[in-house]
């Protein structure tokens, strides 16, 4: 008798035309979306040409978003962006978004209904795993793998085993999906889910907003995960149905599916988390952070650049001022988020507090532009990585947190709790 399957195994099996798969099996699957950006697409385009590619397999399914070094920061980035723009025009790509219409790719694609439940999505960006929040199989690949998929619409995978994470209890104030995933990475380590699916389940996950779910799936790669995934429910369907531009399919794990490990967490014991340099696993609860002075705060990124994130930050910042000699950068994830934040008066709050607001960009997260750190500087960021030199000089430091903690830290001039700021 065949074993029951997890949601990840089901999606991959069906897209490979198979009735059943088990961890370790090598399969070839059809992809629904092949994604590149202005950093990774140029290499993929070069490999596409070398392999004799003339036309992409489907102009609706190859997506290119210039979001890392745009608006162009220098001549080199301008040349890269011109290369992907020319390719998009040549191939008549439906989903190419220029500055003014684009957004951070992993915020934009769900927002626009380009990625959907049940999809197989590959992207030449490690945080492609974000889309698992919709109940899709989404994972990062290299630029050469992207090139191959652009030609034939297929990709090879070894079926990953799955770790099941169960979250129960009542969330504490100021705790959201960012804290749950940071706590989880702190528990299992940056290699704790190496080439495994991370399936997030439990009563707490069902109560989370889509924004928090995207954040959790986004950071699965920071634990070494092949993908992060959450089974679709009413929240998912409500989000997707008003955006979807094509049919989609909902999957869920079988009741007796086999897992390599099951981890359970009582969220009532989890405080807001801060990941110290230089790994996302170096987490501490906010009550144990100590006195850490900072120079910059970044609120945004594919992890926390959605409207819900900006609302929380604005709530903390309202009536407060950014600490002297500190830079606060607020970066909406897409133009739609930007417009909504403006309509809600959030920009008034940010600017009155002393923040700078940017057009959508990934720039600061990878030390590309719009917020580079000098030697000795420290930043609190709602981004997903804090490796050595991640945001600039190798002697700088990055601390990861949720938007509320980041906003509070901007006011305090040091890493601190939003409870302290909101009491004043």
The structure tokens listed for 231 are: 């089974």
Q: Report pLDDT for 424.
A: 58
Count of residues in the chain: 424
Q: Report pLDDT for 421.
A: 83
Q: Are 174 and 74 in contact (CB under 8 A)?
A: no
Number of alpha carbons in the 13 Å side-chain half-sphere of residue 79: 4
| Residue 121, C-beta contacts closer than 8 angstroms, at least 6 positions apart | 31, 32, 33, 35, 115, 128, 131, 136, 137, 138, 139
Q: Report pLDDT for 420.
A: 87
- Which top CATH class is 7-264? alpha beta
Fold (topology level) of 272-423:
Aconitase; domain 3 (3.30.499)
Cβ-in-10-Å burial (0-12, 13-18, 19+) of 250 comes to middle
Judge if 7-264 and 272-423 fold alike in CATH terms.
yes
Q: Residue range 288-292: average pLDDT?
A: 94
Task: Please give, one letter per residue, the 3-state secondary structure of the chain.
Answer: CCCCCCHHHHHHHHHCCCCCCCCCCEEEEECCEEEEECCCHHHHHHHHHHCCCCCCCCCCCEEEECCCCCCCCCHHHHHHHHHHHHHHHHHCCCEECCCCCCECHHHHHHHCCCCCCCCEEEECCHHHHHHHHHCCEEEECCHHHHHHHHHHCEEEEECCEEEEEEEECCCCCCCCHHHHHHHHHHHHCCCCCCCEEEEEECHHHHHCCHHHHHHHHHHHHHHCCCEEECCCCHHHHHHHHCCCCCCCCCCCCCCCCCCCEEEEEEHHHCCCEEECCCCCCCEEEHHHCCCCECCEEEECHHHHCCHHHHHHHHHHHCCCCCCCCCEEEECCCEHHHHHHHHHCCHHHHHHHHCCEECCCCCHHHHCCCCCCECCCCEEEECCCCCCCCCCECCCCEEEECCHHHHHHHHHHCECCCHHHHHHC
Would you list the domain boundaries of the chain? 7-264, 272-423
pLDDT tens, 44-96?
999 999 999 999 999 999 999 998 988 888 999 999 999 999 999 999 999 99
pLDDT tens, 240-288?
999 998 999 999 999 999 999 999 999 999 999 999 999 999 999 999 9
Question: What is the rounded distance in angstroms from the CA atom of residue 192 to the CA atom of residue 190?
Answer: 6
Sign of the CA dihedral 364, 281, 378, 217? positive
Q: Residue range 101-111: average pLDDT?
A: 94
More confident residue, 223 or 388: 223
Q: Report pLDDT for 28.
A: 96
pLDDT tens, 403-424?
999 999 999 999 999 988 887 5
């Amino acid at each position: 008798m065949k074993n029951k399957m997890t949601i990840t195994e089901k999606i991959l099996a069906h897209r490979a035309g198979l009735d059943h798969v088990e961890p370790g099996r090598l399969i070839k699957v059809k992809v629904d979306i092949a994604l590149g950006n202005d950093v990774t697409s140029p290499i993929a385009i070069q490999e596409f040409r070398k392999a004799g590619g003339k036309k992409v397999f489907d102009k609706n399914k190859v997506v290119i978003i210039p979001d890392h070094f745009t608006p162009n920061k220098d001549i080199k980035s301008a040349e890269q962006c011109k290369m992907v723009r020319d390719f998009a025009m040549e191939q008549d790509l439906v989903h190419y978004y220029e500055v003014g219409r684009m957004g951070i790719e992993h915020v934009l694609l769900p927002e626009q209904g380009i990625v959907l439940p049940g999809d197989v999505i590959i992207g030449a960006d490690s945080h492609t795993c974000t889309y698992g929040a919709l109940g899709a199989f989404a994972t990062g690949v290299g630029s050469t793998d992207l090139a191959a998929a652009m030609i034939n619409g297929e990709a090879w995978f070894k079926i990953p085993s799955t770790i099941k994470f169960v979250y129960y209890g009542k969330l504490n104030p100021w705790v959201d999906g960012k804290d749950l995933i940071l706590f989880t990475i702190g528990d299992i380590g940056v290699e704790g889910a190496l080439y495994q699916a991370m399936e997030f389940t439990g009563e707490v996950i069902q109560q989370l907003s889509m924004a928090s779910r995207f954040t959790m799936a986004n950071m699965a790669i920071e634990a070494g995960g092949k993908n992060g995934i959450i089974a679709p429910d009413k929240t998912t369907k409500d989000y997707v149905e008003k955006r979807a531009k094509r049919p989609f399919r909902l999957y869920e794990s079988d009741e007796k599916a086999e897992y390599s490990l099951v981890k359970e967490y009582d969220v009532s014991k989890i405080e807001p988390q801060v990941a110290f340099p230089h790994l996302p696993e170096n987490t501490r609860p906010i009550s144990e952070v100590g006195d850490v002075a900072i120079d910059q705060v970044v609120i945004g990124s594919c992890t926390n650049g959605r409207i819900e994130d900006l609302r929380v930050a604005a709530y903390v910042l309202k009536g407060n001022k950014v600490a002297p000699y500190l830079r606060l950068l607020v970066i909406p994830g897409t133009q739609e988020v930007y417009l909504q934040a403006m309509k809600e008066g959030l920009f008034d709050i940010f600017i009155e507090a002393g923040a700078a607001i940017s057009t959508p960009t990934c720039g600061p997260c990878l030390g590309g532009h719009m917020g580079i750190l000098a030697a000795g500087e420290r930043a609190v960021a709602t981004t997903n990585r804090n490796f050595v030199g991640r945001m600039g000089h190798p002697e700088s430091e990055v601390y990861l947190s949720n938007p509320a903690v980041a906003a509070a830290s901007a006011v305090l001039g040091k890493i601190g709790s939003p409870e302290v700021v909101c009491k004043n």
